[in-house]
Each structure stands twice: as C-alpha cells, then as structure tokens.
Amino acid sequence: MSQSQGSFFDGGPKTMFLSGLFLGVAVSAIIGFGLAFSLLAGGKLPTGGNLGANNPTVPTVNDPTAPPVAAGPVKPVDDKVDHIKGAKNAKVTLIEYSDFECPFCSRHLPALEQALKEFPEDVRLVYRHYPLSAIHPEAQKAAEASECAAKIGGNDKFWQMHDQLFAKQQTLGTQTYLDIAKAIGLNEGNFKTCLDSGEMAARVNNDTSEGSIAGVEGTPATFVNGQLISGAVPYAQLKAAIQAAGASK
C-alpha cells in the first residue's frame, strides 16, 4: 500500500515558513492595489489635494449646468495683502486658489483672463496659493518666488512673475526663477537672497491653510463672490456664475 500524500500542515518548518511568507506577500499586494484603486477612483490625495484636478491622466469632469458649490467662509480680500488684478470696486471678486505647477490651473488661466477682459468694470481677480507639493515638487518654491517678486517689486512684479511661471511651467526650478526675475527687472541679488532664505514660505502656507478651511481640496478652485467652483471649467460656466453674481456687460 503506497503512502498517502501529506497535507500542507504536515510539511517541515522550512516549507511552512516559505508558504506563509508567500501568502503574506500576496495578501499585502492585494490590499495595496485596493487602496491605490480607491484613491484613484475618489480623485483625492491623503493631503487633501484633488488628483483629478491636477493629473492630466485623470481629468476632472465638470457639469456646465451644475450650480456653484456653496463653501466657505472664504477669507475676505485684504487690499494690503492679497494680489489683485482688475477694477478696485468691482461687483464680482474671483478668488483663485492655484498652483503654478498644476496643468489644469494653466488651462483655466485663459478663462480668468477672458473674464477680466469682458467685464473690465465688474470683475477683479485675487490670486492665492494652494501648492499641491505631494504631486508637484516645484509648486511651493514657485509660489515663494512669486512672493519674493512681490516683496521686491510690488503687485505689478507679482503678476509679471505669475504670468511667466505659468508660461514656463515645464521648466520650473531655481534657474528659471532667477531668469524670470532678471527678465522682469528685479534686483537679482535681493531676489536670490529672498528665495534662498525661505522667508516667504509662511505667506504661502497661510494661503493654503485658509483655502482648506474654505473648502478647497484641489486646484484650480475659484470663488465667485464666495461661491466655490472647482476645477478648470469652460468659460461659459464661469461667465454664467459671474453674471449671476451681479456683473453685466
């Protein structure tokens, strides 16, 4: 009579150890895949950033017919602190939480510029920082570079730096910041000292914290007189929100 085949539990210690190790690795891989799938499906990062709003491979779908999302309270505009473009006494204020390395923020920029052009007396734009450093490694330093420009040259130099950072989004880095500073006429030594010191990091971080309190989870995030529109929406949707808030041609 032949000997019957032994069960799994009849194996020696080495067999048991290797089998258990293999099973543990397999279970861990399955759990990790499930977590990754959940993050992608939800479009959220653990830091609060919106993956769908920033990663070109996972686009955010916006419904042009959907009303703005009620959120806030967003911090009121401070003329002495905020970076503002447009009519001083505008009926409608667009507060834009943005990230210089975010491709969807760059895509949304023409809609904001069109709003300022079409409603020159009724719309003003306020830029605030919301760098998603978890997926955009240069976003924080680019934001600090814009604040160094503002410190040295005022609001006009901030907006010149803002425009150039978006224009050179694919090459963000220290040399790009220095090149832009030179091109827009800033004192290069003062700019480099400011940038290297990190002294503007607190200013950037304050914007980010205040944005999170107001309901921002990703970029771009546009408050139209306090009502939040998330994502890079078509200009028609932004225009409808602006007109609903009181602007007229």
pLDDT in tens, 67-109: 555 455 999 999 999 999 999 999 999 999 999 999 999 999 9
pLDDT, position 12 = 53
Are both 162 and 184 inside the same structural domain?
yes
CA distance 178 to 182: 6
CA distance 210 to 130: 9
Give the range among 2-11, 53-62, 102-111, 209-218 with minimum mean pLDDT: 53-62
Share above pLDDT 90 across residues of the chain, in percent, rounded to a whole number: 69
pLDDT, position 55 = 35
Whole domain around residue 16: which residue ranges? Answer: 8-42
The reply to whether 201 falls in a domain is yes
Are both 38 and 135 inside the same structural domain?
no
Mean pLDDT of the chain: 81
pLDDT over 70 (residue 32): no
Are both 34 and 154 inside the same structural domain?
no
| DSSP state letter for 219 | S
Q: Band of the pLDDT at 53, cuts 50, 70, 90? A: very low
pLDDT over 90 (residue 245): yes
Q: Band of the pLDDT at 56, cuts 50, 70, 90? A: very low
pLDDT over 60 (residue 29): no
Q: Return the SS3 of 95.
A: strand
pLDDT over 90 (residue 115): yes
The predicted-structure confidence for 180-195, as pLDDT tens digits, reads as follows: 999 999 999 999 999 9
pLDDT over 50 (residue 128): yes
Give me the helices (H) in the chain, please. Answer: 13-42, 103-118, 139-153, 155-167, 174-183, 188-197, 201-213, 235-244
Q: Band of the pLDDT at 114, cuts 50, 70, 90? A: very high
Are both 134 and 165 inside the same structural domain?
yes
The reply to whether 128 falls in a domain is yes
For tokens 């975010």, name the residue.
102
Q: Which two tokens stand for residue 132?
A: 């998603």
pLDDT over 50 (residue 158): yes
CA distance 160 to 169: 14
Are both 126 and 29 inside the same structural domain?
no
Are both 160 and 141 inside the same structural domain?
yes
Q: Band of the pLDDT at 149, cuts 50, 70, 90? A: very high
pLDDT, position 248 = 80
Are both 84 and 186 inside the same structural domain?
yes
